[in-house]
């Protein structure tokens, strides 16, 4: 078996399309996971049971069911109820919703890690509840959870090939399609594997730099 550079050249246009789709899914999915995760975390701390309990049940359900099942539900079941989404939008929502339940636990741990004296100081200063959260609690909590959030970005990148099951041709999907058409798999699969490393490793380094800056 020899490495075929001509196959690499033929695959590269498909590969770059796959890279673009992968990055779109990763960036949009991460933004959704971070924002929804914070919402879930705050809702779980609500004093209103009608808010807290449904959110707890929902996040536990999502966290304990496979991402693949959730993608199939969003893509194949929701249209039967009148809600049809494009494959890419479905993939982004699936990734973001799934990982938001994990980031919610990260946020919760960060909030619980804020010293009790910070809450007491905010109360002593008669700060409004919203001001206490936005100016005192959340800035400290987010600094604590940046490394864990970065780990979930990497995990989401590695799970992004799952969206190919609903027709989104990200990097691996493009490689599999190229292989099915040309019966050449060694080169495209190898290139995709290297690409995942080249994306994931700099991202992990960036998260370390950001962590150090936030600690300062």
Q: Are 186 and 3 in contact (CB under 8 A)?
A: yes
Residue 20, both tokens: 């673009």
pLDDT of residue 215: 63
Q: Are 128 and 109 in contact (CB under 8 A)?
A: no
Within 13 A of 139's CA, how many CA atoms are on the CB side? 10
Q: Which of 208, 206, 214, 207 is nearest to 141 (CA)?
A: 214
Domain spans of the chain, in order of start: 24-171
Residue range 24-171 forms a domain whose CATH class is mainly alpha
Confidence class of residue 130 from pLDDT cuts 50, 70 and 90? confident
pLDDT of residue 48: 87
- In this predicted structure, the answer to whether residue 121 has a pLDDT above a threshold of 90 is no
Reported as a single tens digit per residue, the pLDDT across 175-194 is: 999 999 999 999 999 999 99
Reported as a single tens digit per residue, the pLDDT across 36-80 is: 999 999 999 888 889 899 999 999 999 999 999 999 999 999 999
DSSP secondary structure code for residue 64 in this structure: T
pLDDT of residue 63: 93
pLDDT of residue 96: 96
* Torsion angle of the four alpha carbons 47, 49, 51, 55, in this order, in degrees rounded to the nearest 10: 110
Query: pTM of the entire structure?
Result: 0.89
Round the average pLDDT of the chain to a whole number and report it: 90
> Measured between alpha carbons, how far is 19 from 98 in angstroms, rounded to an integer?
22
pLDDT of residue 90: 95
> Measured between alpha carbons, how far is 23 from 143 in angstroms, rounded to an integer?
25
- Mean pLDDT computed over 146-173: 91
DSSP secondary structure code for residue 44 in this structure: H
pLDDT of residue 214: 67
CA triplet 61, 96, 139: central angle to 5 degrees?
100
pLDDT of residue 149: 87
- Mean pLDDT computed over 158-174: 93
**Least confident range of 58-67, 93-102, 140-149:** 140-149
Chain centroid to CA 181: how far?
A: 31
């Amino acid at each position: 078996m020899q490495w075929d550079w001509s196959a690499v050249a033929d695959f590269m246009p498909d590969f770059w399309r796959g890279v673009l789709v992968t990055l779109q899914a990763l960036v949009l999915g991460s933004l959704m996971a971070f924002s929804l995760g914070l919402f879930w975390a705050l809702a779980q701390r609500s004093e209103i049971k009608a808010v807290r309990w449904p959110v707890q049940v929902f996040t536990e359900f999502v966290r304990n069911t496979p991402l693949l099942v959730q993608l199939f539900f969003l893509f194949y079941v929701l249209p039967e109820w009148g809600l049809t989404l494009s494959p890419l939008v479905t993939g982004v929502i699936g990734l973001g919703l799934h990982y938001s339940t994990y980031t919610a636990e990260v946020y919760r741990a960060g909030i619980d890690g804020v010293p009790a004296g910070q809450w007491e100081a905010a109360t002593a200063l008669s700060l409004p509840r919203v001001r206490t959260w936005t100016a005192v609690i959340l800035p400290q909590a987010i600094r604590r959870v940046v490394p864990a959030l970065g780990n979930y970005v990497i995990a989401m990148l590695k799970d992004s090939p799952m969206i190919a099951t609903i027709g989104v041709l990200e990097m691996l999907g493009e490689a599999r399609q190229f292989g099915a058409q040309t019966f050449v798999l060694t080169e495209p699969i190898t290139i995709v594997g290297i690409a995942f490393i080249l994306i994931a490793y700099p991202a992990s380094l960036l998260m370390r730099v950001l962590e150090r800056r936030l600690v300062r």
